[in-house]
Amino acid sequence: MLTRMTIGSIAPGVQVYTEHISAAEATATVRVLIYEPGQRTRLPSGALLWIHGGGLVTGRPEQGNDICSRIAADLGIIVVSVDYRLAPEHPFPAGLEDCYAALEWIHHGSHALDIDASRVAVGGDSAGGGLAACLAQMAADRGGPPVRFQLLQYPMLDDRTALRRDHDAILWSNRSNRFGWEAYLGHRLGQEDPPSHAVAARRSDFAGLPPAWIGVGSIDLFYDECRKFAHQMRSAGVDCELYDVQGMYHGADRLAPGATSMATFMAEMITSLRSALA
């Protein structure tokens, strides 16, 4: 049963509900937030599974109230945000499996939710963007629910960035990045290669993956890995748009949303999703 929530920072006309769904472990559940606009432009509508950031070690879906409710309102679609388990208490693959359970739940409940199962995208910011990319790979490899599009907001894609000594950034530093990756992978970086689906950029074959939009700033710690990831996707024949903003740091859209460049950044992100789910 869906339970209505009353929380702030929600776009006008959007209702937010909470639901607990079955997890990979039979005895566990995963909490999800469901953002539903008052008017959906087309029924059944498309949907977005959103995965919050937090370096794989912190965060909760409520921190995405603004972006999730805005996307729901602007596009007239359902947005589902997943409260996945966090490292180090729950290292890989716990959090990713929770996201996969949410993707399956959307598809299995598409009729009840009035969702077109062929128009389901995955997306997220920072660590959530990296998890979204891994989720698209996992779904493809398992022959699981189809993913229409990847919406990746300055995604955390490559553990090898944390091994660089010539590279750092403000807000999300390489020190923090190293801690997040080691907590998630359960070992010190450089000791062993991560398992399949743990690190999106470690994939060897990108062919057949869903198209993607990647947005990142030029002074973001993840700038180089995002550019490389986009190149890998394109080289494999996957449509991937890279939208980079000069002088943008990690999370600048949240700290300075009124800046013209940040308003444009968000508009470009939402436009890409609108086109993908049309």
Nearest partner of 116 among 170, 28, 226, 42, judged by Cα: 42
Provide mean pLDDT across the span 36-48. Answer: 88
CB 154 within 8 A of CB 222: yes
Residues carrying an active site annotation: 126, 220, 250
pLDDT above 70 covers a percentage of the chain that reads 96
Strand (E) or helix (H) holding 137 = helix 127-142
| pLDDT tens readout for residues 78-88 | 999 999 999 99
* Between residues 108 and 167, the one the model is more confident about: 108
- Give the number of C-alpha atoms closer than 13 A to the C-alpha of residue 121, restricted to the C-beta side: 31
| pLDDT tens readout for residues 114-150 | 999 999 999 999 999 999 999 999 999 999 999 999 9
| Rounded Cα distance, 128 and 269, in Å | 15
* Domain boundaries 3-277, corresponding CATH code: 3.40.50.1820
**Sheet with 240-245, edge to edge strand ranges:** 3-4, 14-22, 29-37, 78-83, 45-51, 115-125, 149-153, 212-217, 240-245
- Prior bond of 210 cis (ω within 30°): no
pLDDT at 6 over 70: no
| pLDDT tens readout for residues 186-229 | 999 987 889 999 999 999 999 999 999 999 999 999 999 999 99
10 contacts: CB under 8 Å, gap ≥ 6:
16, 35, 65, 69
| Rounded Cα distance, 184 and 86, in Å | 8
